[in-house]
Amino acid sequence: MATNIIRVGTVEIMSLSDGKLEFDLCNFFPSMSHEDWYPYASHLTAEQKVRFNLGSFLVRADGRTILVDTGLGPKPADAPETPWGTLLEEFTANGVKPEDIDMVVMTHVHRDHVGWNLHSQDGKYTPTFPNARYWISAKDWEACHQAEVKERFPNAPTCVWPLAELGILELMEG
């Protein structure tokens, strides 16, 4: 069995990645000094940056294929060397097609969790996972529309809001 898959009873959980991001320690964690990081030096890059995986999970259960979080999204056309935007490559490497997904669950609306939800061409949005219903917390849906906090969700207008307009968004409690 592949190392990125675990089974719990009849449920299969596959770990996928949309790539990696690196951040300057003191910018990402401003309350911590460089000395605070000494015990964790083995987890830092040569440039003393912290690296984060842009993780997603594919869950197969009861005949359903569920994608949890869609990563940061496609690589920018002007920056093809970007170390993220690899989720669909991961799909291919694991024998998964976007059409296989029947449910997408967004754990929250930060841009590194909603980036592959949609494709846009000439102002028209189409879902990356055409057979899926997309699920999000009603509280997150409300938050990404509130003026005082919506700057925290810069991708919501292009990666989340159109899902409702397309009639494929479901809100859940929690």
Rounded-to-integer distance, Cα 47 and Cα 61, Å: 42
In order along its 174 residues, the chain shows pLDDT tens digits of 578 999 999 999 999 999 998 888 878 788 988 888 889 888 888 888 888 899 999 999 999 999 999 999 998 878 778 889 999 999 999 999 999 999 999 999 999 999 999 998 888 999 999 999 999 999 999 999 998 887 888 899 999 999 999 999 999 997
Task: Please report the pLDDT score of residue 163 as a whole number.
Answer: 98
Task: Please report the pLDDT score of residue 1 as a whole number.
Answer: 58
Contact 22, 45 (CB under 8 A): yes
Task: Please report the pLDDT score of residue 97 as a whole number.
Answer: 98
Task: Please report the pLDDT score of residue 17 as a whole number.
Answer: 97
Domain boundaries in the chain?
5-19+55-172
Task: Please report the pLDDT score of residue 71 as a whole number.
Answer: 96
DSSP string, 64-100: EEEEE---S-SPPTT-TT-SB--HHHHHHHTT--GGG
Residue with tokens 């997150």: 140
CATH of domain 5-19+55-172: 3.60.15.10
Rounded-to-integer distance, Cα 64 and Cα 81, Å: 34
Task: Please report the pLDDT score of residue 123 as a whole number.
Answer: 84
- The SS3 call for residue 123 is coil
Contacts of residue 20, Cβ cutoff 8 Å, sequence gap at least 6: 51, 52, 53, 54, 83, 84
